[in-house]
Homo-oligomer: A and B are copies of this chain.
Amino acid sequence: MIIDCHGHYTTAPEPHNVFRNAQKAHFKDPSAPAPLYPAISDDEIRESVEKNQLRLIRERGADMTVFSPRASTMAHHIGDERVSQDWTRACNDLIARVVGLFPESFIGVCQLPQSPGVPIAHSIAELRRCVGMGFVGCNLNPDPSGGHWTAPPLTDRAWYPFYEAMVELDVPAMVHVSGSCNTNFHATGAHYINADTTAFMQFLEGDLFADFPSLRFIIPHGGGAVPYHWGRYRGLADMLKKPNLREHVMRNVWFDTCVYHQPGIDLLFEVIDIDNILFGSEMIGAVRGIDPETGHFFDDTRRYIDALAISDADKRKVFELNARRVYPRLDASLKARGL
């Protein structure tokens, strides 16, 4: 079975986006009408998914996608905590409906109602609500400011109340920033990749997993710059007098395969242990075109993995078994269906 750990609902029905725009307008100018969330029919949701993600899932041959709200529009920096709470709830409810309509193809991961300067503890209730709806993980934004990086590092105790909830609920987090309001950082070309690299280095510099031995993070986009600079990180761990990375970080951190060319995937599998790699594509995401060098979609990452000279047992780890370990609630859900 093939589990894609990294899918976002980038094709949500238009009324959902219209609501968001009205919400932003109302925040800017409270005399503008406060929007009510629109009625969106099952058919609209079905169409938005069947024509897009589901079509590609079938074409490319995946079975289950771990599905979360569109990352770039989480935009925790827009509005205030109330705006973030309302928007997050709407986004997660929509994911729940997709999962309800296509339970064999999707399982939910939630957005969190983060907001700059607001304690992360305020996001626990939404995590619990979503887990109650069958979600199996969350996307945690290390920079709710959207490119100004005003929050403390992920190893800071300020994050601990949320980690305690993650451990209690036995759910992992994907470290995933959202859009950037800093003109220095293109969202998908700089901010995303920088955040991945930054999070890894924070874990390396800190000692978070001594405090939370069962806490689990997925660092997406192939771990940012980390595998390419694996020698640098091994060397820095040594200079900072940390244990080797396998012990110190990689018991608790996984990288996905959202690396959109064969040489990058080759490197990822060369330097990172097979047990730390999860299949992911983030399809209909950052890079939607066809690679003129291959004639295939850049984000059709399954092709790159299929082209690797690795054993079937290793492929099964990357496509299925690792994900079932990282997301125990996904594993339980599959087992309940006899899968």
Contacts and interface: CB of A to CB of B under 8 A. Distances in A.
A228 B264 contact: yes
Interface string A221-248: 1101101111111111011000000000
A25 to B, nearest CB: 27
A304 to B, nearest CB: 9
A93 interface: no
Most chain B C-beta atoms within 10 Å of own C-beta, residue among A197, A205, A227, A259? A197
A286 interface: yes
A148 interface: yes
B222 A198 contact: no
A184 to B, nearest CB: 5
Interface stretch (A82-90, A105-113, A188-196): A188-196
Interface string A173-212: 0000000001111101110011001100110110000000
A271 interface: yes
A197 B147 CA distance: 14
Most chain B C-beta atoms within 10 Å of own C-beta, residue among A148, A183, A193? A193
Contacts of A189: 201, 204-205, 232-233, 236
B205 A291 contact: no
A42 B266 CA distance: 50
A256 interface: no
A222 B228 contact: yes
Contact of A197 (B225, B238, B259, B264): B225
A289 to B, nearest CB: 5
A236 B261 CA distance: 13
B197 A190 contact: yes
Nearest to A228: B228
Interface stretch (A11-19, A48-56, A149-157, A323-331): A149-157
A234 B291 contact: yes
Contact of A236 (B222, B225, B286): B286
Contact of A229 (B147, B222, B238): B222
A193 B225 contact: yes
Nearest to A152: B183
A149 B225 contact: no
A230 B227 CA distance: 14
A255 to B, nearest CB: 11
A135 interface: no
Contacts of A156: 183
A271 to B, nearest CB: 5
A331 B339 CA distance: 66
A30 interface: no
Contact of A153 (B184, B205, B261): B184
A289 B236 CA distance: 9
Given A148-B148, A267-B267, 17 more contacts: A143-B184, A147-B149, A184-B202, A189-B205, A190-B197, A194-B194, A194-B198, A221-B229, A222-B229, A224-B225, A231-B264, A234-B261, A234-B298, A235-B260, A235-B298, A235-B299, A236-B286
Interface of A: 142-143, 147-149, 151-153, 156, 182-186, 188-190, 193-194, 197-198, 201-202, 204-205, 221-222, 224-225, 227-236, 238-239, 259-261, 263-264, 266-267, 270-271, 286-289, 291, 293, 298-299
